[in-house]
Amino acid sequence: MPLRKRNLPDSHLGDTVLKDGTTRLQTYQRTRCSCLRKWTFYGLLLWCSLMVAGYFLSPFHAIKCEISILELKGPLTSNYKLAQGTRIPNLPGPECVVEDENGNLYTGLADGRVVRIQPTKDGSFENAKVENLTDGKVTNPLPATTHKLGNARPSGLRLHGDNLFVVDCVYGLYSINIRNLSFSMLVQISDVFPVLKFPNDLDISSNGNFVYFTDVDDDYSVAQIMYGVLSGKCSGRLLEYNISSKKLRVVTSQLCGANGVQVSIDKKSVIVSEMYRNRVTWIDILTGKHIRSVQMPMMPDGLTKINNNNYWIAGSQVPNSFAKFLFGTPMLRQSLAGFVPHDVLAIFVFVCSFDFRHNIVVEINDQGKIIHSMYDPYGNLTYGLAHATQLHDGRIALASYIAHFIGIVDPNILNIN
Ligand SMILES: *[C@@H]1O[C@H](CO)[C@@H](O)[C@H](O)[C@H]1NC(C)=O
Ligand SMILES: *[C@@H]1O[C@H](CO)[C@@H](O)[C@H](O)[C@H]1NC(C)=O
Ligand SMILES: *[C@@H]1O[C@H](CO)[C@@H](O)[C@H](O)[C@H]1NC(C)=O
Ligand SMILES: *[C@@H]1O[C@H](CO)[C@@H](O)[C@H](O)[C@H]1NC(C)=O
């Protein structure tokens, strides 16, 4: 007995039994079904074509890389040691913080400025005075790694004597005299071949003769960072700049996303964060050989030495199982980059695969042994942690590449563990 159904388009449809014995309803359901199948088929076809086209149009050839998800136990056990503190506001993207002997802080901002932050007499940053040391614009045009930002982007700083050395992702390496604010351009991006693409961080040798700085990889600027991350390639450089001779030397050019830099205690090696592999690596200064690597639970960023001669490694991108899948599937990464615009891809990858609110500082000794770690696991105080600096009085300054403030943690004030 044929059924009558309300939502059937029934103006000229009766429920007559057709010649082959089926009813109109069955025919309708069949067409709807085949219609769905048809669209699924077209959808899949479109997706496959995009993936194939993307694969060939991709800006890079992706290489396989394993990302391990470390269990947060032992010296990596999670806590809330960095979750409470104060903030120094109105500082967009303060990626790195250094302190001078008078307790002033210096940082580089997303709008290109390098600023000095003077605490009040009691050392408090609550009503700190912020002074511009540079205005973030470069008046005489220098070669730039990208014009997309429209200004400089100081990302790594170190102080030696009166000289504040600054690595800038857009323009290279410069120094600012902190007494008279005179500015010197030291290394332009075109001073080395291949040219610098993404200068990132630096350290100064203890005798003050050399600057060691990183260039993330040889293809992508800061404005195309996600292509670098997704390619997984290992063409990052560690460079040495001889301050008196002004000569540059490439120490190694095989780093997987060269980021934070720290000269080791024995002065024979430089420790570098390899952000595309979530590890830090000791590089022999003379030979450029990799001495040892230590896996991190996050994408490591800035490195600093602390007063017990250990190091702090700061970072925030903690990979999840999707990140593990994505990085284990180079074809997918290569294809996606071929048809998804860079900035959309950046949001997608950062939202789906890394937790940038999960901030971690790992303390490690010179033998590469992890001692303990400090966390702000839900982003209560900060997010996008890029660098942690131990201040002279034991407080900790937390820098971030995206937050609009510097976080200040006082370990003497009770922290929830
Ligand atoms: C520093 O530069 C910023 C941005 O250009 C500006 O808004 C601010 O007024 C400057 N501060 C001082 C003290 O000149
Ligand atoms: C700033 O001080 C440095 C070091 O004392 C000196 O070499 C430089 O000429 C000074 N610059 C200006 C503009 O006074
Ligand atoms: C650095 O430059 C100085 C001055 O030219 C020179 O004496 C020294 O040997 C150089 N050091 C290295 C490692 O190149
Ligand atoms: C951090 O924030 C979460 C909610 O976002 C809250 O439940 C937790 O108590 C906070 N922890 C600290 C240490 O402030």
Best mutation site among 87, 378, 417 for ligand 4, i.e. most ligand atoms within 8 A of its Cβ? 378
* 409 CB within 6 A, ligand 4: no
CB 302 within 8 A of CB 260: yes
Query: pTM of the entire structure?
Result: 0.90
Of the candidates 131, 101, 135, the one whose C-alpha atom is nearest the C-alpha of residue 116 is: 131
- Which ligand 3 atom sits closest to the C-alpha of 249? 14
Rounded CA separation 347/135 (Å): 29
Q: Which tokens belong to 302?
A: 């800035």
* Each residue's pLDDT tens digit, 4-33: 444 444 444 445 565 666 666 676 677 777
* pLDDT value, residue 53: 84
% residues pLDDT > 70 (the chain): 91
Closest-approaching ligand to the CA atom of 115: 1
Q: What number is the average pLDDT over the span 131-143? A: 87
Q: How far is the CA of 99 from the centre of ligand 3 (A)?
A: 29
What is the CA(158)–ligand 2 centre distance, in A? 19
Ligand nearest to the CA of 82: 4
Q: Beta partners for 87?
A: 407
What is the model's pLDDT at position 139? 66
Nearest-ligand number for the alpha carbon of 162: 2
Burial class (CB in 10 A: 0-12, 13-18, 19+), 93: buried
Query: Taking 80 as the threshold, does the pLDDT of residue 296 lie above it?
Result: yes
Question: What is the pLDDT of the chain when averaged over all its residues?
Answer: 91
102-118 pLDDT tens trace: 999 999 999 999 999 99
Task: Give the helix/strand (H/E) hosting 408.
Answer: strand 406-409
Q: Which pair of tokens denotes residue 340?
A: 């998804």
The Å distance, Cα 246 to ligand 3 centre, comes to 9
Ligand nearest to the CA of 136: 1
> Residue 231: helix, strand or coil by DSSP?
helix
The secondary structure of the chain in percent helix, strand, coil, rounded to multiples of 5, reads: 20, 35, 45
Domains of the chain by range and CATH? 65-409 (2.120.10.30)
Average pLDDT over residues 54-66: 90
Q: Is the CB of 242 under 6 A from ligand 3?
A: yes
Both tokens of residue 375?
Answer: 């966390």
| Contact indicator for 202, 172 with CB cutoff of 8 Å | no
**What percent of the chain clears pLDDT 90, i.e. is strictly above it?**
80
Going by alpha carbons, the residue nearest to atom 2 of ligand 2 is: 180
Above 80 in pLDDT, residue 351? yes
- Strand segments, DSSP code E, in 127-193 are 129-132, 154-160, 163-168, 172-177, 183-188
51-60, 134-143, 390-399 — which one is most confidently predicted on average? 390-399
Tokens of 234: 């290992």
Q: Is the pLDDT of residue 165 over 90?
A: yes
Residue 222 CA, ligand 3 centroid: distance in Å: 31
Q: Which of 315, 299, 323, 289 is nearest to 373 (CA)?
A: 315
Q: Is the CB of 184 under 6 A from ligand 2?
A: no
| ∠ Cα 256 330 323 (to 5°) | 75
Shortest-distance Cα residue to atom 5 of ligand 3? 245
The rounded Å distance from CA 379 to ligand 1 centre is 28
Distance, CA 101 to ligand 2 centroid (Å)?
A: 20
Which atom of ligand 2 lies closest to the CA of 162?
4
